[in-house]
Structure 1
Amino acid sequence: MASITSAGLGSGLDIEGLVTKLMTAEQAPITQIKTRESKETTKLSSWGQIKSALSSLQNAAQAMDTRSEFTTFKASIGTSTVATVSAGTSAVAGSYSLEVSKLAEVQKIKSAGYASASSTVVDVSGGSKTLSLAVGGTTTNITVDSTNNTLEGLRDAINKSGASVTATLVNDGDASAPYRLVITGKETGTSNAFSLTGLSELNYNASTGTGTGLTKVQAAQNAEFTVDGISISKASNTVTDAIQGVTLNLTATNSGSATKVTVTNDTAALQTKAAALVKAYNDLNSIIKVQTAYNATTGTAGTLNGDGTARNLQLQIRSILGGVSGSGSYSTLSSVGISFQKDGSMALDSSKLQKALDNPDVDVAAIFVKDSSGTGIASKLGSSIATMLGTGGMVTARTDGINATIKSMDKQIDTLTDRLTSIEKRYRAQFTALDTKVASLNSTSTFLTQQLAALSSSSS
């Protein structure tokens, strides 16, 4: 509305007050629409909570919808200083004897001592020379000239060459020649041994361990160990193919004192997944229960009370979780300890689930997963929720409908607001005209009164 003006001064009428009251009455339809819009916005917020809870339930279901998620294993080792162990889905439950006689090592060689890091090592007075560095089956040629024939120059040239070695300088504290070039292989194992040729000042034969200007610090070595008495040699201390599905990270030797590696089913992980599924359902159920509730005593209703979509969603979820999958006496969630309570929530009997998991004759996975034997409950639940939340799904359709209603109300408010502007303008024009008319009449009345008074005075 317009700000307070001087309208009414001529007539004495409270034109501003009259316009304000009239416009307040005219605004009633907008107020009503805004009240309804606020309710729709609250509904949208409630559906946002349901969508979030549905997504959490979907994630919990998808964590149990494939057979590989039920074939989880854990590995342990008797002597933890010898190795760390882990098991993947392809592991097989069992125990294995492990004895490590050698750890895989990188090759390491050192040069003779030099007085300083800038000491000349290679004579290039006759021109440049080529240092050939062979690592495994790969040879890298390095040009050595007057720009890099010093100890530190060779270090930098080797490191820049891309060869699978690292060159460093070490100061051993010798009084006259403390600086040494140390070359270390980047990978362990005999297949990664390296040799240097091409320079008379620096050459080394890895196969014989001899050279000129370079001596052995440590030879490249394979890890050597036995599993159940079977001798195995590997280039790395990380071994993934000695025991099926088990990764061994060898860290120490234990010759003559074998340790045991044990692989067992990781039922604790399955218990955690089952508990997460139950919690996710209970969270969703609680939200829907609150949002659709009605208190007869107080006469108050939840935001989604009477919302058929919310009720239908709840019934569909309950129907899936209460369904049958698999065969025999173990074909429902309740048969393995996941059951509905009187209040509609779910509870997990971990002891009952553990008993089923420990029973080799019970295919617990068949109740949950989708595979050649059928579609399990977790798989059905995950796909059903995906449909609900997807384009055209019941949840998406419901929220799209609410958003469309809010958008329509916004348009109505805009239209009515424009109309009110015109109405207020008309009211002000009418009252201004009235004010002018009344002022004119008042002026005429005053004039006539004055004239009559004058006539009366003259006649007397």
Structure 2
Amino acid sequence: MVTNSGISNLITGFTGVNSASLVNDLVAASLQPKQDAVRERQNLNQARISALASASSALDTFSTALTEILNGRKFSGSLVSTRGDLVAASFIPGQKPEGLPATVQVSQLASAQSVVSASSYAANAQVGEGTLTFTTATGSFDVTIDSTNNSLGGLRDAINAADGGVTASIVTDNSGSRLVLRGREGSANSFTVTGSGGGAALDAFAYPPAGGAGMNSVTTAADSLVNVNGIQVVNSSNQIDTAVPGVRINLLAAAPGTNVVISGDQPTSSIKDVLTEFVKAYNNLRGALNEATAPGLDGASGGPLAGERAARDMMRAMASLTTKPLTDTGAYTSLADIGVSTNRDGTLTLNSVRFDRALAADPEGVARMLEPATPTAANPGLAKAFEDVKTSLKAPSSSLTGAQERLKKLAANLTEQLEKVQEDSDRYREQLEKTFGDMDRQLTILRSTQSYIEQQVSVWSNSNNN
């Protein structure tokens, strides 16, 4: 095939035409409009893909933030005990409190068995060598005293190093030092100590005492006895995590017959603050959707999602939140009942007067409607209600998922179209180069013929002159 440079050199010499430039101009005139049309569609399609992706991501972010805020404890405030000297209460991390207020009666505290040596020892006095065997609810362990640790301090350290459920300490007063042993709380955690036997000095640390030698009892092992909302609860500890869901009860003193009420103080300002923040964040999301779906008017371009069904479905589903039942009990069951209304553009407004009136009338009911302890289908609360909307919008059969798949396929199709336009342009260039190559050969033949004729005419003219 004749190259562009060959065509240019030959034709330019005869006609003054730059064929390479002419081919480029013809190809560009054919290719550019087609490329521009496809790329314009690509840009619009990509804008729609990005807008839908942003809207979908915003749904996730909004739902996650709402769930973190309304976690079943936001409106519980701080736990309050009517007798802080008897019972203290706190939230259990990661759990939602239920069943408040709760009434508690403490009949008996849990206690640990403790014993003290009957004899006092001077500093650095030997206690005797041998073996002490400790028996607990979980098994037994031995403590050996020899020349390396034959002292009250050595015995204490050896018991503690065994880590068998009995701890040792030393109490010192004017009479000298005594060994104190303590087990774990709960009636099942009592222990016994057996000395090496016979007349060995370590028999002084036996319990129960054997042969007149041994330690004296200070406290016995016992369980806590508590009445919670009329139900007796027995525990081996003074910390109770299982009587009221999500609440840790710490028993401080026994007072049979005395009712202690544990409740959460209602932080009314927090409820309003959270709802105000919800309305603000909702309006930001709805405003972005309004802008993305705005139609083009008076020659102005519309939003990337103008006319997109998925966006309309998203806005319609979000708008239903104000009237959707958040609970099936009480006087206030929806956002509309507590003063949240929808504006003409789909954004929300909180009527403070109406909200304050509802909150004053039933603060617990409003809090429970917005943030139930355990969300259910009948009592979803605000966070679950929005989560349900999001789940429905992003379901495999939803218009949002369908639109995202459709736009993804269109993007691939437009890429193929652009490649085809380029392939067609390459073929057009080849055709032009072939055409100009043929013209080049014809011109060469014509010039050769012209040169032969001119030579013959010159010969004839010279002959006639002679």
Q: In which range does the TM-score fall when normalised by the shorter chain?
A: 0.5 to 0.7
1:252-271 equivalent positions in 2, closer than 5 A = 263-268=263-268, 270-271=271-272
SS at match of 2:11: coil
Query: Residue 306 of structure 2 corresponds to which residue in structure 1?
Result: 305
Which of 77, 83, 92 does residue 100 from structure 2 map onto? 92
SS at match of 1:301: coil
Q: For each residue in 1:81-125, what CA deviation from the matched residue of structure 2 results, as whole angstroms up to 9, or x when unmatched?
A: 9986325532423787999x9997798999x9999xxxxx989xx
SS at match of 1:306: coil
Q: Structure 2 CA distance, aligned partners of 1:41 and 1:266?
A: 49
- Do the aligned partners of 2:241 and 2:247 also contact (CA within 8 Å) in 1? yes
Q: For each residue in 1:8-27, what CA deviation from the matched residue of structure 2 results, as whole angstroms up to 9, or x when unmatched?
A: 22222423222322322332
- Structure 1: segments with no counterpart, 5+ residues: 116-120, 124-128, 169-181
Superposition TM-score, scaled by structure 2 size: 0.64
Which of 425, 435, 438 does residue 430 from structure 1 map onto? 435
- Do the aligned partners of 1:188 and 1:220 also contact (CA within 8 Å) in 2? no
Query: Residue 291 of structure 1 corresponds to which residue in structure 2?
Result: 292
Q: For each residue in 1:388-414, what CA deviation from the matched residue of structure 2 results, as whole angstroms up to 9, or x when unmatched?
A: 211011211122221122122222223
Query: Residue 175 of structure 2 corresponds to which residue in structure 1?
Result: none
1:53 Cα shift?
Answer: 2.9
Query: Residue 274 of structure 1 corresponds to which residue in structure 2?
Result: 275
AA aligned opposite 1:408 = N
1:114-125 equivalent positions in 2, closer than 5 A = none
1:319 Cα shift?
Answer: 3.6
Query: Residue 15 of structure 1 corresponds to which residue in structure 2?
Result: 19
Q: For each residue in 1:420-439, what CA deviation from the matched residue of structure 2 results, as whole angstroms up to 9, or x when unmatched?
A: 33333333333334334434
Q: For each residue in 1:257-290, what CA deviation from the matched residue of structure 2 results, as whole angstroms up to 9, or x when unmatched?
A: x9x8752354556445534542343132111111
Distance of aligned partners of 1:42 and 1:232 in 2 relative to their CA distance in 1, 3 Å threshold: closer
Query: Residue 339 of structure 1 corresponds to which residue in structure 2?
Result: 341
Query: Residue 173 of structure 2 corresponds to which residue in structure 1?
Result: none
Which is richer in helix? 2
1:75 Cα shift?
Answer: 0.4
AA aligned opposite 2:335 = L
- Do the aligned partners of 2:4 and 2:19 also contact (CA within 8 Å) in 1? no
User: What RMSD in Å do the two structures reach over aligned CA positions?
Assistant: 6.1
SS at match of 2:349: strand
Q: Structure 2 CA distance, aligned partners of 1:86 and 1:132?
A: 40
Deviates more, 1:365-374 or 1:30-39: 365-374
Which of 421, 427, 434 does residue 426 from structure 2 map onto? 421
Which of 30, 37, 51 does residue 46 from structure 1 map onto? 51
AA aligned opposite 2:346 = G
- Structure 2: segments with no counterpart, 5+ residues: 170-179
Distance of aligned partners of 1:411 and 1:300 in 2 relative to their CA distance in 1, 3 Å threshold: closer
SS at match of 2:304: coil
1:45 Cα shift?
Answer: 0.9
Q: Structure 1 CA distance, aligned partners of 2:281 and 2:430?
A: 58
Percentage of pairs with the same residue? 17
- Do the aligned partners of 2:134 and 2:140 also contact (CA within 8 Å) in 1? yes
Q: Structure 1 CA distance, aligned partners of 2:330 and 2:244?
A: 35
Distance of aligned partners of 1:351 and 1:106 in 2 relative to their CA distance in 1, 3 Å threshold: farther
SS at match of 1:27: helix
AA aligned opposite 1:431 = F
Distance of aligned partners of 1:333 and 1:92 in 2 relative to their CA distance in 1, 3 Å threshold: same
- Do the aligned partners of 2:334 and 2:369 also contact (CA within 8 Å) in 1? no
Query: Residue 174 of structure 1 corresponds to which residue in structure 2?
Result: none
Distance of aligned partners of 1:245 and 1:18 in 2 relative to their CA distance in 1, 3 Å threshold: closer
AA aligned opposite 1:25 = A
- Do the aligned partners of 1:63 and 1:273 also contact (CA within 8 Å) in 2? no
Q: Structure 1 CA distance, aligned partners of 2:360 and 2:455?
A: 116
Query: Residue 394 of structure 2 corresponds to which residue in structure 1?
Result: 389
SS at match of 1:418: helix
Q: Structure 1 CA distance, aligned partners of 2:195 and 2:100?
A: 52
Distance of aligned partners of 1:105 and 1:183 in 2 relative to their CA distance in 1, 3 Å threshold: closer
Query: Residue 32 of structure 1 corresponds to which residue in structure 2?
Result: 37
Superposition TM-score, scaled by structure 1 size: 0.65
Query: Residue 321 of structure 1 corresponds to which residue in structure 2?
Result: 322
Deviates more, 1:322-331 or 1:42-51: 322-331
